[in-house]
Amino acid sequence: MTGYRTTVNLSPADLRKEGSALDLPLAIGLLVSTGEIEVEQLDRYVFVGELSLDGLLKPVKGVLSIAMNLVAERNSILVVPRGNVQEASLVEGLRYVCADSLKECVEILERNSSHDVNVATGISSNHENVDDGIPDFKNVIGMDEVKRALEIAAAGAHNFLLVGSPGAGKTLCAKCLLGILPEMTELEILETTRIHSCARRSGDSEEFKPVMSRPFRSPHHSASMVSLVGGGTRLLPGEASLAHNGVLFLDELPEFNRSVLEALREPMEEGKISVSRASGTVVWPARFMMGAAMNPCPCGYAMDPKHECTCLPEAKKRYREKISGPLLDRIDIQVCVPPVDASLFAAKGVAEASAEIRKRVCAARAVQRKRFNSLPFKSNAEMTSEYARIFANMTADVERFAVSAASKMDLSARGYFRLLKVARTIADLRGASAVDVMDLSEALRYRAFRG
């Protein structure tokens, strides 16, 4: 083609066009426009793939997102590198073609045979839900109050904070939570996997696997804003989005940069994160349960009868003030993790298994699904204040108790409605239609952490 010059115009201009995924569509476009190949009904094909210099097709990231958007268009056929087949095949009903090279791709297009078109079977057929590696509550002896608090958190999708001495088992308890949360639905698997698929590095040779169990993301307290909420030059999702449909666990909460923590307020309220860049705003899904853990004081032993706390009152106060009131307000369940009592480990028998607790959690979730049938909430934690009051279904006496208790504890308006939501979950766990004084009293215990 000497003497020719081809200009490729990618429009619309405001759409992100980065990475190598456009190699294949560009190559096919060039071959068709120069008359090298003829393809019938070219419009129905959607191409994606990186092309190496020897003509081989290499997988690219984000294919699941493309596939999920395409599946509604019944006529379309997605053309992907073979390395992306596992991803494409997750979206039930998607019609796709795969190839190893540009040459093979062209052969398939020219052959135009329905035998080359695969129909994706979806998730359930060839993937297993593995809970391997999740610790079980049956091996955690004692800590009944913490387990109860986490059962409530799981049942209503409430954020939680565990306060306790170093080595008290805060992280272990938080990880156990995964074993009592309901299994992910097919849609949740796709939603979460699609975010993880976008976060893959290009050229990542690791085999693609769908995210079958709820993610547990535990970023270090030195994590930057970008790594937590996403963005950066390559515009990747952050930990908060990778935790979508799972748990974002912040150990050593007061050690996190304050502005980073404040940035989590948006996803905690909205279930999504907006990241602004020069070219516009990108929105990532980020609906997670936030779990956090912290020591009660800088030395860690303020609540430990066996160790003496060496902190000055002023240092203790400063430490707790590192977590802002508005953030603390958004943590529905705050519970103290007592130091481990060695005698409990010697106790015979095992504690209740996570699978048993999960049954109660799932029953409470089923009540909520029914309650929110025509409303945009999935769990009690997501209710607006207005609905928190309506669904608490309190008698006048019970409501008076709630208001007076909240004022005694100096709860903010948000804190008050969060209290009602937790009480609602407690009532759901016992199968009651109305919140009563007992439910509120228990919910109040989980707001006990004040500076």
Output the smallest distance, CB 258 to Zn ion, in A: 21
CA angle 101, 106, 8 (to 5 degrees): 90
Check residue 294 for interaction with Zn ion (CB under 5 A): no
Of 101-109, 297-305, 371-379, 420-428, the window that binds Zn ion (rule: CB under 5 A) is 297-305
Of 29-37, 50-58, 296-304, 433-441, the window that binds Zn ion (rule: CB under 5 A) is 296-304
Site for Zn ion in 240-259 (CB under 5 A): none
Q: What is the dihedral of CA 255, 162, 284, 74, to 10 degrees?
A: 150
Output the smallest distance, CB 318 to Zn ion, in A: 12
**Among 99, 152, 199, 302, interactor with Zn ion by CB under 5 A:** 302
**Can you say how many angstroms the Cα of residue 237 is from the centroid of all Cα atoms in its chain?**
11
Tell me the residue ranges of DSSP E strands in 212-331. Answer: 216-217, 230-231, 236-237, 247-250, 272-277, 280-285, 289-294
Output the smallest distance, CB 332 to Zn ion, in A: 26
Check residue 309 for interaction with Zn ion (CB under 5 A): yes
Output the smallest distance, CB 323 to Zn ion, in A: 16
Of 4-12, 29-37, 310-318, 438-446, the window that binds Zn ion (rule: CB under 5 A) is 310-318
Check residue 297 for interaction with Zn ion (CB under 5 A): yes
Of 113-121, 293-301, 351-359, 399-407, the window that binds Zn ion (rule: CB under 5 A) is 293-301
Cα 284 to Cα 275: distance, rounded to the nearest angstrom: 8
Output the smallest distance, CB 310 to Zn ion, in A: 6
Check residue 337 for interaction with Zn ion (CB under 5 A): no
CB closer to Zn ion, 162 vs 297: 297
User: With contact defined as beta carbons under 8 Å apart, do 51 and 18 qualify?
Assistant: no
Check residue 299 for interaction with Zn ion (CB under 5 A): yes
Q: What is the dihedral of CA 151, 153, 157, 163, to 10 degrees?
A: -140
Of 245-253, 266-274, 305-313, 419-427, the window that binds Zn ion (rule: CB under 5 A) is 305-313
Check residue 303 for interaction with Zn ion (CB under 5 A): no
Task: Give the three-class secondary structure for 312.
Answer: coil
Output the smallest distance, CB 320 to Zn ion, in A: 11
Count Cβ neighbours within 10 Å for each residue of 314-351 and write b for 16 or more, e otherwise: eebeebbebbeeebbbbbbbbbbbbbbeeeeeeeeeeb
Q: How many helices (H) and strands (E) does the chain have?
A: 19, 15
Cα 105 to Cα 58: distance, rounded to the nearest angstrom: 13
CB closer to Zn ion, 166 vs 232: 166
What backbone phi and psi angles, to 5 degrees, belong to 283?
Answer: -115, 125
Check residue 311 for interaction with Zn ion (CB under 5 A): yes
Number of residues that bind Zn ion (CB under 5 A): 5
Residues that bind Zn ion (CB under 5 A): 297, 299, 302, 309, 311
